[in-house]
Amino acid sequence: MKLSTTLALFVATSLVVAGCGKAKEPAQAAAVKVGEAAEKAGEAAKVGAAEASERAKKAAAAAKGVAEVAKAEALKTAKVAADGAEATAAAAKVAAEKTAAAAKIAAAGEAPAAGAATGAPADWTAVVKDPSKATATAPGVYKVKFSTTQGDFTMTVHREWAPKGADRFYNLVKAGYFTDIGFFRNIAGFMVQFGIHGEPTVNAAWRGARISDDPGKQSNKLGFVTFATSGKDSRTTQIFINYKDNSFLDRMGFSPFAIVDAEGMAVVNKLYKGYGEGAPRGKGPDQGRLQREGNKYLKAEFPKMDFCKSAVVLDGK
């Protein structure tokens, strides 16, 4: 082979080898770039996963908060409902008690007259100043209508409840004792008392006319009527009407003999209560002075006081 031919072959071979080296460089660069891209993708994936995890945690925390609020609201609603149910039940109980009391008053007030009076005095007008002439035995059941400065009310007397008290009251009413009589002791939420006469001479006559006690058969509840007493066997002419359940008086010898009907209690409740308890404990009249001075004292110093204008027996003989 000639030298020129050999040299040509060497040059050609070198060019081929050089071309192969140059071809490897782009491939290696591409591989590097792919690796970097993969690394970046991995990093991005890690960041995305972390952010997703954080968002998931926040969502879970928010859901827990909502659940807790919902639970609290549910408990609060349940408590309000329970409290409301309890209040409703309490109100229903009070209403039922009042209804029962009103029904009892109405039933007692509607009782028909029973029997007839016996032993009546020849002259009723003489009884006011002479208690010894108060000899009548009352009917078993009778009604008495009171006319007052606030209107009229009726009470029904049951002799079987307290016979001696019912008899005394019957004699007083028939004799006209309860004419122009002041409701001198009127205590809100307790009772209203009357029965001291407007004429001092009449009070003097009745002060010692005491009747013995009756065993209590009824209780001093709303609307029930009872003679006042200062001790054993001390009843004379004073009576009171209960504004509420005063059953604590039962054990003290106060024996109810009558009851004011439901309609009548609306009138009784209108009687002036501003003076309250009597002197010296309250602003009301002094009973000793009232006994001595009568209506002159009441009308001069207690101008707002209500009075019983008259009382009459409506049925019974």
The domain that contains 159 carries what CATH number?
A: 2.40.100.10
- DSSP for 192-239? EEE---SSHHHHHHHTT--B------S---TTEEEE--SSTT-B-S-E
Q: How many residues does the chain have?
A: 317
| Structural contact between residues 172 and 178, judged by C-beta atoms closer than 8 angstroms | yes
Name the pTM for this structure: 0.66
Of 109, 132, 164, the domain-final residue: 109
Residues 168 and 285 in one domain: yes
pLDDT digits (tens, 9 = 90+) for 252-298: 999 999 999 999 999 999 999 999 999 999 999 999 999 999 999 99
State the chain's mean pLDDT as an integer.
81
Domain holding 217, by residue range, is 113-313
CA–CA separation, 32 and 218 (whole Å): 113
Residues 207 and 235 in one domain: yes
- Residue 225 is predicted with a pLDDT of 98
pLDDT digits (tens, 9 = 90+) for 63-122: 576 567 556 665 665 564 556 666 656 655 655 555 555 555 555 544 555 667 899 999
- Which amino acid, residue 144? V
Helices (H) then strands (E): counts for the chain: 6, 9
User: Is residue 155 domain-resident?
Assistant: yes
User: Is residue 184 domain-resident?
Assistant: yes
Residues 119 and 105 in one domain: no
Domains contained in the chain, number? 2
Lookup: tokens for 304: 């707002």
Residues 206 and 273 in one domain: yes
CA–CA separation, 191 and 223 (whole Å): 9
User: Is residue 34 domain-resident?
Assistant: yes
pLDDT digits (tens, 9 = 90+) for 124-176: 999 999 999 999 999 999 999 999 999 999 999 999 999 999 999 999 999 99
Half-sphere exposure of 164 (CA within 13 A, CB side): 16
Element of type H or E holding 186: strand 185-187
